[in-house]
Amino acid sequence: MASARLLIGPHRFLLERSQEIILETAAGSRLLAHVSPHPASRGLIIILHGWEGSSSSAYVLAAGAHFYSRGFSVARLNLRDHGESHHLNEGLFHGALLDETFDAVNALAASAAESSVYLMGFSLGANFALRIAIRHSEKPIRGLRQVFAISPPLDPYKTTLAIDGGPGFYRKYFLKKWRRSLKKKQRLYPQKYNFTKMLHADTCLALTEKVMTYFPEFPSYRDYFRLYTLTKKSFRDLGVPVRIFIAQDDPVIPAEDFLALAGNRFLTVSRQKFGGHCGFIDLFPYRRWYNDRITEALGK
């Protein structure tokens, strides 16, 4: 339901005012973003989508339209190889690409005329948002006021096992989108990639292990997962308010992973009994619950 196109809500004004830009990072990689400046902006909200989502995912457009209608400028950033951006970089996407994502968020914040910047992420994008908030304490992002993370995986290895071991449609959903993405990359760079055999893998973990062939810098997939695993110690030097939204019935993220995060004055974990993964949807009347809570947190 979080990804259902019929549940986006009115978003025409957001798209009509959207400008496509390509951000070049310090290392030379390029990321695609869509920016909708508000004529009477109260601040900039930067949104990061989930794994195999994009700046055009239903939940991203719904959030963007919600905050744009309340006077905020909105920037929808694509992670590498997401959306229509596979051609921008020869290298493959992986979850540990924090440097380029941080640089792109930093560039969006620096180029904004607004004095207040807010970062919002979903699922894997929420994991990136949390890591950006942590790095912000060492390398400040201009104007960053608050960070919001909806259904972030803290331990990507556990999340991958949960996807593979949970309801079959979750595994099929992610594998279908991941295979499609890898095929697109192979068509663009046939001299570098050949995923044909590995695409027969029937679990996300098996495909992850096979794709490691193209990442010799990682000794194993477990070492790769550790690079973006977050624990209580990860947040000890936070210097910006961070709020996490997690549901006890999330089928791919263990809610108990968040129990150890208490005791940090900058970190708030909002645990709900229901909400699924990036859902939190009420139908009558229709709303996405976290959008209302974030609006309250912004004081707007």
What is the reported pLDDT for 270?
92
What is the reported pLDDT for 158?
95
What is the reported pLDDT for 40?
87
What is the reported pLDDT for 133?
98
- Measure the N-to-C terminal CA separation of the chain; round to a whole number of Å: 27
Rg of the Cα atoms in the chain? 18
CA gap 147, 162 in Å, rounded: 26
The secondary structure of the chain as a DSSP string is: -TT-GGGS---HHHHHT-EEEEEE-TTS-EEEEEEE--TT-S-EEEEE--TT--TTSHHHHHHHHHHHTTT-EEEEEPPTTSSS-GGG-SSPP-TT-HHHHHHHHHHHHHH-S-S-EEEEEETHHHHHHHHHHHHHTTSPPTTEEEEEEES--S-HHHHHHHHHHS-HHHHHHHHHHHHHHHHHHHHH-TTT---TTGGG--SHHHHHHHHGGG-TTSSSHHHHHHTT---GGGGTT--S-EEEEEETT-SSS-GGGGGGG-S-TTEEEEEESS-TTTT-EEETTEEEHHHHHHHHHHT-
What is the reported pLDDT for 1?
56
| Distance of alpha carbon 92 from the chain centroid | 17
What is the reported pLDDT for 7?
53
**Domain map (residue ranges) of the chain:** 5-154+231-298
The CATH number of 5-154+231-298 is which of 3.40.50.720, 3.40.50.1820, 3.40.50.2000, 3.40.50.11740?
Answer: 3.40.50.1820
What is the reported pLDDT for 10?
55
Q: What are phi and psi of 118, to 5 degrees?
A: -130, 145
User: Under a CB-based contact definition with an 8 Å cutoff, are residues 204 and 171 in contact?
Assistant: yes
Neighbours of 136 (CB within 10 A): 21
Q: Which residue ranges of the chain lie beneath pLDDT 50?
A: none
227-247 tens-digit pLDDT = 999 999 999 999 999 999 999
What is the reported pLDDT for 4?
56
CA gap 55, 166 in Å, rounded: 27
User: Under a CB-based contact definition with an 8 Å cutoff, are residues 163 and 204 in contact?
Assistant: yes
pTM: 0.94
CA gap 294, 134 in Å, rounded: 20
